[in-house]
Amino acid sequence: MSFIYDFSSATQAIDQWLKANLSPTGAFVAELALVGLTILLAYAVIGLYLVYAERKVCAFMQNRVGPNRVGKWGLLQTMADLIKLLMKELIPIRKSDKLLFNVAPYLVIIASFLGIAAIPFAKGLHAIDFNIGVFYIMAVSSIGVIGILLAGWSSNSKYSLIGAMRSGAQVVSYELSVGLALLSVVIFSGSMQLSTIVESQANGWWILKGHLPAMISFVIFLIASTAEINRGPFDLAEAESELTAGFHTEYSGIRFAFFFLAEYMNMFIVAAMAATVFLGGWMPFHLGNLEAFNRVMDFIPPVVWFFGKTIFIIYLIMWFKWTFPRLRIDQLLTLEWKYLLPLNLLNTVVIAFLVLMGWYFK
């Protein structure tokens, strides 16, 4: 049944149609333009609506209504904000390092673009399917921190610099836990290719097939990735009650908007990764041999499955942020080095043992 929602034939058809009607170079350029536009559109829409979702979620948690004036239920609020930020003055800070100051937003945005390229939204809806997908995501996600460091350092503000320093220490540390948590699924599935990992979950998600160790991995991944994208309760780089706005204190107008947008896109990438690796990506929920149940599940399109899972994880991350107080920098590092990392190493050994003995649902 699942083939009905297969996008690979559709994309191939477009590809062939372009190649047949245009010269090879023309087809290539057209393809690039098509993909670029699609990604740009998706990026903008996802980013803006994540901001909106966050506002609504936190508002409901805080007994408020949230944005509800612009458009129906305030749906256009973030659009209005974007337009407002576009019309805001870009203030050049005196004595700042002009070049780096201007380059920093590019870096954070490009990092998130590169990240989103490797995410399989559905079968065939996959910009680039690397054979080292997991590894690639880890690699590009650490480009963003360079942007943050540059932003903090170049603005010649003390608050920014402290924020950037914190962010550096934090991302550097939590990178490990993210990697080790992802490794557990790599061991289970025996592949780093995201499409293969998703395929391997056709009969059940890894979080369920891998027993408790996989769940621990999932939780560690959630915590560590929340820290890596600088979100509360790990938002020390911004820490508005301490550093006013942390690394982007000096940024104004649309440049600030890009940091803001990148934060939300990183959240999306992280949530999408968690959904892909642990929760089966666009795979429907299947229960053993219950044919009827599985059939019904198959009718829900994979895109819906994928976004459903991603939104669920995004909601979790928002829930964390709007409940917990912020950690202090030394506690943050203690949590990583004294709790998450040893647990993670132990967990990896256990998983390796499970795989060795074959004690998991294949």
CB neighbour list of residue 331: distance below 8 Å, 6 or more residues apart: none
DSSP string, 220-255: HHHHHHHHHTT-TTS-TTT-HHHHTTGGGTT--HHH
Residue type at 55?
A: R
Q: How far is the CB of 294 from another protein (least distance, A)?
A: 26
Shorter beta-carbon distance to another protein: residue 106 or 293: 106
Give residue 161's Cα distance to chain centre: 25
Q: How far is the CB of 298 from another protein (least distance, A)?
A: 27
- Angle at the Cα of 135 from the Cα atoms of 236 and 258, rounded to 5 degrees: 45
Distance of CA 52 to the CA centre of its chain: 17
Cβ proximity to another protein, 116 vs 298, nearer residue: 116
Structure tokens at 162: 């402290």
CB closer to another protein out of 104 and 298: 104
Closest to another protein by CB, 158 or 295: 158
Shortest spacing between CB 8 and another protein, in angstroms = 12
Taking the complex as a whole, how short is the minimal distance between the CB of residue 345 and another protein, in angstroms?
6
- Sign of the C-alpha dihedral, residues 119, 45, 306, 138? positive
Count the neighbouring beta carbons within 10 Å of the beta carbon of residue 73: 14
Neighbour count for residue 80 (Cβ, 10 Å): 14
Beta carbons within 8 Å of 304's beta carbon, 6+ residues apart = none
Question: Where is 100: in which H helix or E strand?
Answer: helix 98-117
For another protein, the closer CB: 25 or 62: 62
Query: Cβ of residue 293: shortest distance to another protein, in angstroms?
Result: 27
* Shortest Å, Cβ 22 to another protein: 16
Choose between 175 and 298: whose C-beta lies nearer to another protein.
Answer: 175
Q: Which is nearer to another protein, 25 or 89 (CB)?
A: 89
Cis upstream peptide for 233 (omega within 30°):
yes
Q: How far is the CB of 55 from another protein (least distance, A)?
A: 12
